[in-house]
A = this chain, B = another copy of it.
Amino acid sequence: MCRWLAYTGSPVLIREALYTPQHSLIDQSLHSRLGAETTNGDGFGLGWYDESPTPGVFRSVEPAWNDQNLHELAAHVRSRLFCAHVRAAIGSAVQQTNCHPFRHDRWLWMHNGFINGFPILKRELALAIDATLYPEIAGQTDSEMLFFLALTFGLESDPIEAVGRALGHVEELARRRGVNHPFQGTIATSDGSRIWVFRYSSEGNSRSLFFSRDVRTLRYLYPERQILQELSDDARLVVSEPIGDLPGAWTAVPEASCGVIGEGRDELLPFVVKSPATVFSMAAMETGAPLRPVGG
């Protein structure tokens, strides 16, 4: 449905990731090869970290391929950690508040995929959002709802646990409401220090996700590429689909995995959804109260 990329490493002009590559994210906005749709023209977003307390976010409803302002920004802003997303809407409005990345304090969140049966589940998912966070929901999308659900479940203290519990909550609710294969997709989230990425779907057949090979290996393979000389050894890109055709440059993230990169971490782990079933108060279900975990 959408395509995204996330970068951490030595500061680079954002255009080096967004525009320069042969099959860049901007090119993917018009001609995606691996996505569910070839066109991702329903808005876009860019989030970047600098020395400010919160990341900058630039979002627009125009197709990324013809947004002059994105082109300008990408040519003038350097960042050591940034996220970009091109959107293919499925039902919800094309408006900035539906564009990724979503932001809460220092956190950014992007998603490619969907919650199946979202209209059926939306209200109960909204009720599970922490009441102090609820007024911050600005758009209509399943992706933003997931973000706030993950925040509710502790994203800021343990991202992998929180995403696991958020998706577990979605799956449990879907089971009770008779919705099959409720979650599909890939997720990236960051606090400005690290990036956590997830590839998961309830049906076990997830949207694609790739990370770039180790920069030292890439330099060895492609000594003529100037940009590789400029990148730090720990630079890493995670992308919905490869932004170039260099053999050996990209590695697929396995099904049901999550990764952590940045500030010395560079790990790929199995990702397990945390079913809330055992801890739910069944009484709460009966009375229509929010599906909130007990002792969570």
Contact = CB atoms under 8 A, between A and B. Distances in A.
Interface of A: 30, 38-39, 41-42, 48, 50, 52, 56-63, 66, 68-69, 72-73, 75-77, 89, 93-97, 118-120, 122-123, 126-127, 131, 134-135, 137-138, 140, 287-290
B66 A94 contact: yes
A75 B56 contact: yes
B38 A58 contact: no
Contact of A287 (B30, B50, B97, B289): B289
Given A41-B41, A93-B138, A137-B140, 20 more contacts: A41-B63, A57-B72, A58-B69, A58-B73, A59-B68, A59-B69, A63-B63, A66-B89, A66-B94, A68-B93, A69-B69, A73-B73, A93-B95, A93-B97, A95-B97, A119-B135, A120-B135, A123-B131, A287-B287, A288-B290
Contacts of A93: 68, 95-97, 138
Contacts of A77: 76-77
A3 to B, nearest CB: 15
Contact of A69 (B48, B60, B123): B60
